[in-house]
Structure 1
Amino acid sequence: MFKIIAVTNRKLCHIDFLEKLEALAKSEVDSIILREKDLSEEEYYNLAKNVLRICEKYNKECILHNFVGVAKRLGQSKIHLSLPMLEKHHNEVRNFEKVGVSIHSLEEGERAVALGATYITAGHIFQTDCKKDLEPRGVSFLENICRAVNIPVYAIGGISKYNINLVKEAGAKGACLMSSLMKAEAK
């Protein structure tokens, strides 16, 4: 089954952030990655408590991002990390149920697998406002990653209803959406 993963960025949100998260939790997205990189650990902890409560209410998977200590404090076993963070914390997350890693090259993908990642996000695939000055890696990059690793690969970066079929055809198990979901008005 092809999955849709919402990646948060409260700075893109035009409504109250927790209202947006509740709307996403009610929606058909499969998972939510709580990616609020600018927060302190304590601020992230307080936000994560609220978001986890919302996700529990709607039986929606919530994956915490980068704050391994917060995940442990909250009894959570699902985390998404950058490759440098996984390299630093791989012993701490060894027993986590789900460990996702952001990768930008085949070598990074192979390294993430070797360090115990259970899935990877590969990108950015298409042009995106989040990475305006960087050339997208494209569908062939995604195809190569999907063929090379034996764990699920989720595409990220500039994915929309107009190009999501290309991501599916490339072999990705799903797509991560940030801007399109965070900027969308509540329904």
Structure 2
Amino acid sequence: MSNVLVITNRKLCKEDFFGRIEALAAAGPKGIILREKDLPEAEYLELARQTAEICDRYRTPCVLHSFPGIALELGVKRLHLPLPILRNLSPDERAYFTVLGASCHSAEDAREAETLGCTYITAGHVFDTDCKKGLPGRGLEFLKQVCESVKTPVYAIGGIAPENYKEVMAAGATGVCVMSGAMVCEAPGHYLSAFSEKTEQAANTQKGIR
């Protein structure tokens, strides 16, 4: 099974957004996080409704982002939140979600997210990325510290690519998040499979196979 979470950014798409979502869902990622948090709530609701329908057809988990009320309205039990929003959810609201993630930028953040019941966290940004222009990546040592500070699965985010995937996993990550590459690649299936190939290569190397 894939350990790659896709983060959406409709502004990067060169084609129809829902066509891109369908191609990604068909490729079998760990899940698709609908991050379009800049949208007004009503527009996000419609985008979430259609995205969830596409993901359901391919049995790819759809994770909503930033809008707990919309997740409740649509009956979606997977949600990712910035830590400040997560803090404002009541215990009952948090308990509703079977998958609950939070964006963390330190080991302290990660421990708090774990205390608040998160089933996974994202840690970043690890490497330099165009999404955070002018802000240097926090690096692999940061990622290692976060992974060692919690029992909750950690997904690395920020500048992740097949070329640095093995380093990220070696630092203790459960998986990775990708955005730009997933939104603009010509062949989503091939792009996501490149991460699986790196996993197989690493396993073969450990077995002494060259």
Unaligned runs of 5+ in 2: 189-210
Q: In 2, Cα distance between the equivalents of 1:30 and 1:94?
A: 22
Aligned to 1:98: 99
Per-residue CA deviations over 1:52-96 (Å, capped at 9, x if unaligned) read 110011110110001100000000111000000100124322221
Aligned to 1:63: 63
* Larger Rg over CA atoms: 2
Identical aligned residues as a percent: 49
Q: Secondary structure at the match of 1:94?
A: helix
Unaligned runs of 5+ in 1: none
* TM-score of the aligned structures, taking structure 1 as reference length: 0.96
Compared CA separation, residues 58 and 175, structure 1 to 2 (3 A): same
Q: Quick check: which one's helix share is greater?
A: 2
* Aligned residues of 2:2 and 2:29 also touching (Cα < 8 A): no
Aligned to 2:110: 109
Structure 1 residue 45 and structure 2 residue 45: aligned? yes
* Aligned residues of 1:90 and 1:116 also touching (Cα < 8 A): no
Q: In 2, Cα distance between the equivalents of 1:109 and 1:148?
A: 7
* Aligned residues of 1:14 and 1:185 also touching (Cα < 8 A): no
Aligned to 2:15: 15
* TM-score of the aligned structures, taking structure 2 as reference length: 0.86
Per-residue CA deviations over 1:1-43 (Å, capped at 9, x if unaligned) read 6600000000011111000000000003121000001111111
Q: In 1, Cα distance between the equivalents of 2:109 and 2:122?
A: 11
Compared CA separation, residues 90 and 122, structure 1 to 2 (3 A): farther
Q: Which runs of 4+ in 1 moved over 2 A?
A: none
